[in-house]
A and B are shown apart, each in its own frame.
Chain A
Amino acid sequence: MAYEFTKEDLQEIETIKAKYPEVMPATLPALWVAQRRFGHVEPEVQRLVAETLGLPEAHVHGVANFYTQYYKEKKGKHVLDVCTCLSCQLCGGYDILHHLEEKLGIKAGETTEDGTFTLNQVECLGACGYAPMLQVTNDKYVNHLTKEKADELVEKLKNGDELEYEQIKMPQHKNI
């Protein structure tokens, strides 16, 4: 399949380019545009980004492979990035990971056969106080996980429910 940007994508890329004095800085944001459009940045997509920006393909490839959030291969519809780093480890991040492995019948790093879920173990996501937690497909954080909450999440995603942004209040305050 040949990948192509839509007119809007191209417009967005032009807006991005205008933020910088050179084209190369648009590499990361353009890869983001591509990943949002196609769901991944497989080699073909990397090539499209390189062509669109007029940059060497090897450069785009090197960049895509340096950053973990770019999917260099197709992933499941929902990617569950479970943090197991320091604070999450202390608060049971591995229990959540193993629970999800069992529930989904896959190991971390794998995708369910039906292509619905990919499960990953990831490094600190900057939500250490709300551990254990996970991020869904580079977007919403799901905090204070328990096995029950993880189960609910899986069901929600299966049902195609939108995830809410979980706002976390400042513990000292009443209003925020």
Chain B
Amino acid sequence: MPEIFIDGHRYEFEGEHKVLQFIQDLGKEVPFFCYHPSMTAPANCRQCMVKAGQYMKSRETGEYEVDENGDRVIRWFPKLQTSCNLMAADGMVILTQETDEQVKRAQKDNLELILINHPLDCPICDQAGECPLQIQTYKYGPEGSRFEVKKVHKPKRIQLGPRVVLDAERCINCTRCTRFTQEISKTHQLTITSRGDKNYPTTAPGREFDDPYSLNTVDICPVGALTSADFRFKARVWEMNQTPSIDITNGKGTNIDLWTRDNLILRVTPRFNADVNDHWMPDAGREAYKIFNENRISRPQQKLDGEKVLSSWNNAIATLSEQIEDTDNTKILVIASPHASVEENYALNKYTNLLGLNTPVFTPHIEEGTGDGFLLSDDVAPNTNGCRLLGFKELNKSGICKEIQKAELVLILNDNLVDRSVITADQLKNKFVAVFATNNSETSEVADLVIPITTAAEHAASYVNVDGRIQRTYRAKETKYTNRRIDLEMSEGRLDRYGTNFDNWVTEDNKIDCMPMWEIVNNLADATGIDINFRGGREIMDEIASSVSNFSGVSFAAMDEHAGIQLSIKKETSTSK
């Protein structure tokens, strides 16, 4: 097998590798800015310099040549090489900043040059704390500055488009943003303008950077030149904690991170998954943070004399179980939801099943024209395939309406059927409607009983995307009943770790009074005398895997290890575009 020697260590490799990527994959480091694994390598920042050479092999024997001391003969490249566009070759010798003074010096020199025209306004820059320039300067940069002449001035605070703001003085001209619009989103909306040290990225004059993927440029900009108009100045990154999750606003199942501070989700960023979304996500999905923070249902609500009032949990559970007991089984309609996780749907189904009710029905949430052939599908629900794989009855709009007509008691799991015009409020009149929902909506408005459940940000549960991949979320945000200090799976940010409930930047207000669906099912079962005792998403998934063949082999551990698991789905039912 071909071999490469990096800082004196020998590694074998197969296939084609860029040296920089290879070093990173080993868990080692070479500083860099312009390289991005999903785009072409222009090698323009010149930061990733290494010393490269080749052990000489004899043509006849194929053996390495040795000198009089028995050391292998190395032919060094005459110049330092940028490792981002250097291909690994058999017998290659690489020295990084760890072992070579010349490399160290070159990297330091380069940082000095990058910094001379940089504003150095980290204290007021959004990128600070997650800025490659800041980090690498700290690790590899010069101590002081020898620059005593005037800096170049460029436009600042330019609203490039509805969502992205540019500070051209901070730009280091890595061209990641322009390459993104050329190679990934293909809108070609950005270009570098001017020449030399006057260069900066821009749109065509009078045009907006309204690329539906524009915010990815903010993520990949290695400095604070591109910032999010929405997130700008909202929080310092070190105040937030970061939790992996899945985008629930579309069926594509883009992998994301949720960034929270004091139990508010402040931003959503894409998380790498080679099989789903690579490094990217649509701008649309980033708005989702609002779903988790705003307009939430907190505490159960009940209609009394046509008036919504807050109710206790005990009362809500009792009311619902009484309704179920008092209604003829055939008159109870259970509507499962492509907007709810596999576990939530399963829990509800198990309960209704044991009660002897009809199999839940569901209706996909398709919005024609949303799909773009990239990271958006027409299916805007995160778990349509999950409902299918659980064996629920798939109905179209008129099918649902027919079923509702027949029913006296309707249970709706988190699906805003009225809002999305599957049914009308009128059709629900004279029926007892109970919804398990995360946010207030027209649908919850007409319900007689509203039971607040957790969002994807508050529970660990799984979703099957349009391509049949099952992936899961983690708890990012506390509810009234959870506590990140004792929940080992919840991540802690600096404020979470070092703050106490008595610090003025921590409030209880952001914790919603809601429960995971399965705990509600536990309580309902208890009230009805059925034996159900779900412990959590992880255990429910184990149970599903052993009882529903479509899910065999699935577990949280397996999903975590493989960044999701591909299930087999019937392609024709897939709404992937």
A contacting B, Cβ–Cβ less than 8 Å: yes
Q: A58 contacts B206, CB within 8 Å?
A: no
- Contact code string A56-100 (vs B, CB < 8 Å = 1, else 0): 111111100110000000000000000000000000000000000
Scan residues 34-54 of chain A and give those whose CB is less than 8 A from a CB of chain B.
43, 46-47, 50
Q: Which of B181, B187, B195, B205 contacts A61 (CB 8 A)?
A: B205
- Contact code string B189-209 (vs A, CB < 8 Å = 1, else 0): 111111100000011111100
Q: Do A65 and B195 contact each other (CB < 8 Å), given the known contacts A56-B188, A58-B190? A: yes
Q: B204 contacts A43, CB within 8 Å?
A: yes
B207 (CB) vs chain A CBs: closest residue: A57
The distance from the CB of B154 to the nearest CB of chain A, in whole angstroms, is: 13
Q: Which A residues touch B190, using CB under 8 A?
A: 58
Q: Which A residues touch B205, using CB under 8 A?
A: 43, 46, 61
Scan residues 347-387 of chain B and give those whose CB is less than 8 A from a CB of chain A.
none
A50 (CB) vs chain B CBs: closest residue: B204
Q: Which B residues touch A47, using CB under 8 A?
A: 204
Q: Which A residues touch B195, using CB under 8 A?
A: 65-66
A63 (CB) vs chain B CBs: closest residue: B191
Q: Which A residues touch B203, using CB under 8 A?
A: 58, 61
The distance from the CB of B198 to the nearest CB of chain A, in whole angstroms, is: 9
The distance from the CB of B152 to the nearest CB of chain A, in whole angstroms, is: 16
The distance from the CB of B176 to the nearest CB of chain A, in whole angstroms, is: 15
Q: Which of A43, A59, A66 contacts B194 (CB 8 A)?
A: A66
Assembly CA distance A61 to B203 (angstroms): 8
The distance from the CB of B36 to the nearest CB of chain A, in whole angstroms, is: 19
The distance from the CB of B94 to the nearest CB of chain A, in whole angstroms, is: 35
Assembly CA distance A47 to B205 (angstroms): 9
Q: A62 contacts B191, CB within 8 Å?
A: yes
Assembly CA distance A15 to B192 (angstroms): 29
Q: B204 contacts A65, CB within 8 Å?
A: no
The distance from the CB of B426 to the nearest CB of chain A, in whole angstroms, is: 50
Q: Which A residues touch B189, using CB under 8 A?
A: 56, 58
Q: Which B residues touch A65, using CB under 8 A?
A: 193-195
The distance from the CB of A63 to the nearest CB of chain B, in whole angstroms, is: 8
A61 (CB) vs chain B CBs: closest residue: B204
Q: A60 contacts B204, CB within 8 Å?
A: yes
Interface centre among B187, B193, B195 (most CB of A within 10 A): B193
Q: A61 contacts B193, CB within 8 Å?
A: yes
Q: Which A residues touch B181, using CB under 8 A?
A: 58
Assembly CA distance A7 to B49 (angstroms): 53
The distance from the CB of A42 to the nearest CB of chain B, in whole angstroms, is: 9
The distance from the CB of A31 to the nearest CB of chain B, in whole angstroms, is: 14
Q: Which A residues touch B187, using CB under 8 A?
A: 56
B192 (CB) vs chain A CBs: closest residue: A62
Assembly CA distance A57 to B189 (angstroms): 8
Q: Which B residues touch A46, using CB under 8 A?
A: 204-205
B188 (CB) vs chain A CBs: closest residue: A56
Scan residues 122-164 of chain A and give those whose CB is less than 8 A from a CB of chain B.
none
Assembly CA distance A57 to B193 (angstroms): 12
Assembly CA distance A56 to B206 (angstroms): 14
Scan residues 191-235 of chain B and give those whose CB is less than 8 A from a CB of chain A.
191-195, 202-207
Q: B193 contacts A62, CB within 8 Å?
A: yes
Q: Which B residues touch A43, using CB under 8 A?
A: 204-206
Q: Which B residues touch A66, using CB under 8 A?
A: 194-195
Q: B191 contacts A59, CB within 8 Å?
A: yes
The distance from the CB of B206 to the nearest CB of chain A, in whole angstroms, is: 6
Assembly CA distance A56 to B191 (angstroms): 10
Assembly CA distance A57 to B208 (angstroms): 11
The distance from the CB of B11 to the nearest CB of chain A, in whole angstroms, is: 40
The distance from the CB of B313 to the nearest CB of chain A, in whole angstroms, is: 56
Q: Which B residues touch A61, using CB under 8 A?
A: 191, 193, 202-205
Q: Which A residues touch B192, using CB under 8 A?
A: 62
Assembly CA distance A66 to B187 (angstroms): 21
Q: Which B residues touch A60, using CB under 8 A?
A: 204
Q: Which A residues touch B202, using CB under 8 A?
A: 58, 61
Q: Which B residues touch A57, using CB under 8 A?
A: 204, 207
B205 (CB) vs chain A CBs: closest residue: A43
Assembly CA distance A65 to B190 (angstroms): 13
The distance from the CB of A70 to the nearest CB of chain B, in whole angstroms, is: 12
Assembly CA distance A77 to B448 (angstroms): 78
Q: Which B residues touch A59, using CB under 8 A?
A: 188, 191
The distance from the CB of A135 to the nearest CB of chain B, in whole angstroms, is: 19
B190 (CB) vs chain A CBs: closest residue: A58
The distance from the CB of B181 to the nearest CB of chain A, in whole angstroms, is: 8
B195 (CB) vs chain A CBs: closest residue: A66
Assembly CA distance A17 to B303 (angstroms): 72
Assembly CA distance A61 to B190 (angstroms): 10
B186 (CB) vs chain A CBs: closest residue: A56
Q: Which A residues touch B188, using CB under 8 A?
A: 56, 58-59
Assembly CA distance A50 to B205 (angstroms): 12
Assembly CA distance A66 to B206 (angstroms): 19
Q: Which B residues touch A58, using CB under 8 A?
A: 181, 188-191, 202-204, 207
Assembly CA distance A57 to B206 (angstroms): 10
Assembly CA distance A50 to B203 (angstroms): 13
A47 (CB) vs chain B CBs: closest residue: B204
Assembly CA distance A61 to B204 (angstroms): 6
Assembly CA distance A65 to B207 (angstroms): 16
The distance from the CB of B525 to the nearest CB of chain A, in whole angstroms, is: 60
The distance from the CB of A50 to the nearest CB of chain B, in whole angstroms, is: 7
Interface centre among A58, A62, A66 (most CB of B within 10 A): A58
Other than the given A58-B204, A61-B191, A66-B194, 19 more pairs (CB < 8 A) read A46-B205, A47-B204, A56-B187, A56-B188, A56-B189, A56-B191, A57-B204, A58-B188, A58-B189, A58-B190, A58-B202, A59-B191, A60-B204, A61-B203, A62-B191, A62-B192, A62-B193, A65-B194, A66-B195
Q: What are 8 A-B residue pairs whose CB atoms fall within 8 Å in the complex?
A: A50-B204, A59-B191, A60-B204, A61-B203, A61-B205, A62-B193, A65-B193, A66-B194
Q: Which 6 pairs across A and B sit closest by C-beta, in order of nearness?
A: A62-B191, A56-B188, A57-B204, A43-B205, A58-B191, A65-B193
